[in-house]
Structure 1
Amino acid sequence: MYWYYKYILVAAALIGIGLGVYKVLPQEWLKSSPSSPVEDNDSQEPAQTPTLESNQARTEKEKYTPTASSKNTNAVKTINKKTVVSSPKFSEKLKQGTELKNKGMLDSAYNILIEALEHSEPYSDDWIKAAQLISEINVYIYKNAVPSKRKQSHTVKSGQSLWDFAAENTTIRAVQISNKIPIESSVIHVNQVLTFFGGQWEIKASKSHYALQLLLDGKLFRFYNIGIGKDNRTPFGEFFISGKKREPSWKGYPFGHPENVLGTRWMRLTKISDGSNEGYGIHGTSEPESIGTASSLGCIRMRNEDVEELFNFIPDNKIKVTIED
Structure 2
Amino acid sequence: MKNSAYLKKYVENHPNNKMAWYLLGKEYEQNGQEGKARYCYIQAGSVYEAFESSKIPEDLWMGYEAELLHASQRQEQRSRLIRKIGLALLLLLFLWLPSAQAPGPWATTSNKPVAGAVDSRPRDEQSTKREVGADVHAASTKQRAAAPRFTAIGYTPGGRGVLDDFGSLLAGSETKDHHQVLLAMDKKGKWLNWSHQMPVVYEVQSLGNGRTSVQSYDQAACLCTPPDPGKLKNKAVKWIARQESLAVLSSAMLHYKEKKGDWPSSLDDLTQPFPNNWLAGTNIHMKEAFEPMLRELAKREQSGGETPGDAESGSIELAFEQGDELFFTQPLEVIVDTSSHRLVVVSGPVILRSYLVGLGGDKTPEGTYRITDKVVNPNGRPDGEFGTRGMQLSDTNYAIHGTNEPESIGGDESLGCVRMGKKDVEELFDLLPVGTKVTLGKGGLPDQDLTPTKRFKLGDRPDQSNPHRTYRWLQ
TM-score (norm 2): 0.32
> Which protein, 1 or 2, shows the higher relative CO under an 8 Å CA cutoff with sep ≥ 6?
1
Which structure would you say has the larger Rg? 1
